[in-house]
Amino acid sequence: MMEVERVQGIASISIPKDTIPPEFIRPENEQPALTTFPGQAPEVPVIDFANKDEKNLVDLIFDASCKWGLFQIVNHDIPSDVIQKLQDAGKEFFELTQHEKEIYAKPPDAKSVEGYGTKLQKEVQGKKGWVDHLFHKIWPPAAINYQFWPKNPPSYRFAIHYFVTQYAKR
């Protein structure tokens, strides 16, 4: 398999901060803080799943995605403990050794989005954006490729299966 540089790999050998390659260090005024938006914070689009008009929901999601690239969903009926289990399982996956994560790597020539991978985003003002990610399908069952579902940490598959059996088919 072709060796791919991953964000966590670069970060793990880049301590202290001044050894991170300079093309990845954003100016201080662009680094994460309570808010990085100058002025009054914008109101992110909120989509209410209590609205049962499916066409309207699709239109709202499409509009928010095009204009903002993100949105908040309310009244989704997913308990906070389920969300926490999903977040914890994802965090545990990304804390695995690089070797363990590479087991689920997306092949370099793959057309599918599924697998563990790295995305180098376009440069903005001479600075690069870089992110490691894990994508896999969870629904419908016929579309699931378990090759990309991590077996480690053990909580990962349990958390995803629990979420899917309770909520994905709604």
At 9-63, the pLDDT tens digits run: 666 655 565 566 777 777 777 776 665 566 666 788 999 999 989 999 999 999 9
In a domain, 70, yes or no: yes
> Element (H or E) spanning 128, and its range?
strand 127-135
Q: Are residues 65 and 137 in the same domain?
A: no
In a domain, 115, yes or no: yes
- Of 8, 1, 5, 10, give the one whose Cα is nearest residue 109: 1
More confident residue, 75 or 126: 75
Report the domain count for the chain: 2
In a domain, 31, yes or no: no
> Whole-angstrom Cα distance, residue 102 to residue 8?
12
**For the residues 129-146, what does the mean pLDDT come to?**
89
Mean pLDDT of all residues belonging to the chain: 83
Q: How high is the pLDDT of residue 119?
A: 80
Model confidence at 166, in pLDDT bands (50, 70, 90)? confident
Q: Are residues 21 and 64 in the same domain?
A: no
In a domain, 91, yes or no: yes
Q: Are residues 22 and 55 in the same domain?
A: no
> Whole-angstrom Cα distance, residue 96 to residue 110?
23
Q: How high is the pLDDT of residue 39?
A: 65
More confident residue, 130 or 60: 60
More confident residue, 74 or 110: 74
Q: How high is the pLDDT of residue 108?
A: 80
Residue with tokens 């309207």: 56
